[in-house]
Amino acid sequence: MTTVKSVQEEILKPLQRHKQLTVKEAEEISLGLIDTLCDSYCQDEATLQYLSMFFTPQLYQDLLDERNLNKWCGYPMCSRSPERIRDPFEVDDNTKRFLWENNPYAYLSIYCSKFHFRCSQFYQVQLSDESLFARTGIHLINQSSSELERLNEKYGVTLFEQLLREKASEDDMKSLVAGLRRLGIKNDNDNGTEKGDDQFETDLSKWLSDIKIVEHEEPELLGDLEKDG
């Protein structure tokens, strides 16, 4: 499994001498992340959120392609295989594009489920287009709280799972559907119709029921931060 600590130790630790990455160093980080996650998965949500500081939409797409080649679900939080395993070399790029655009279930050849397809979409559309080497200080392991807050504000993301846990009411569900449409995340089987919205809300309700919130009787004083420390 991939953790914040493993990324820092195995990929970022050699790059602590200066605050500004070179193009070559940025490429080393990008290749390191793909190499690590192409046949592994994030241990927790905090790890995937941390990685958003290093991903661009294109780098994340490259990771999806590599995970697909290795027959892993595209979503980096998942350790399962896609629902429909297909030889990625059996068709050319034009045929793949045609199938993706015209087959409403094409995502199942990349993801284990519609839920992880949505999670991945939601994650990807929030990623910054800024080049990795231009993101000053993101690779530094020991950051001040103010600097971490600045980086998180600029490059941080909210996970779809987190949003679902927060927006559980019917009114919030409708707001969530509208928000996803504004982000460009559409339902696969509709063109923005009311019927499509109803189906999307049904899917969201199902996904909410699958998310279990566990309350600890004796929680750590600092929550999960205490475990990570």
Token digits of residue 31: 């290749």
Percent above pLDDT 90 for the chain: 49
Report helix, strand or coil for 91.
coil
Q: Across residues 68-97, what is the average pLDDT? A: 75
pLDDT at 165: 81
The structural domains of the chain, with segments of one domain joined by +, span 1-137, 167-211
pLDDT at 43: 94
In this predicted model, what pLDDT tens digit does every residue of 151-204 receive, in sequence order? Answer: 989 999 999 998 888 766 555 656 666 666 666 565 544 444 455 445 555 555
Percent above pLDDT 70 for the chain: 62
pLDDT at 154: 92
DSSP for 29-89, written as a single string: HHHHHHHHHTT--BSSHHHHHHHTTT--HHHHHHHHHHHHHTT--SSTT--S--SS---TT
Are the C-beta atoms of 22 and 133 separated by less than 8 Å?
Answer: yes
**Exposure of 154 in the CB half-sphere (CA atoms within 13 A):** 16
Are the C-beta atoms of 143 and 12 separated by less than 8 Å?
Answer: no
Q: Across residues 86-92, what is the average pLDDT? A: 53
pLDDT of 117 > 80? The answer is yes
Whole-angstrom distance, CA of residue 103 vs CA of residue 118: 16
Burial class (CB in 10 A: 0-12, 13-18, 19+), 197: middle
1-137: which CATH topology?
A: 1.25.40
Lowest mean pLDDT among 25-34, 41-50, 127-136, 162-171: 162-171
Are the C-beta atoms of 66 and 38 separated by less than 8 Å?
Answer: yes
Token digits of residue 166: 């927060």
Mean pLDDT of the chain: 78
Cα–Cα distances in angstroms (integers) from residue 150 to residues 26, 51, 57, 138, in the given order:
20, 15, 20, 10
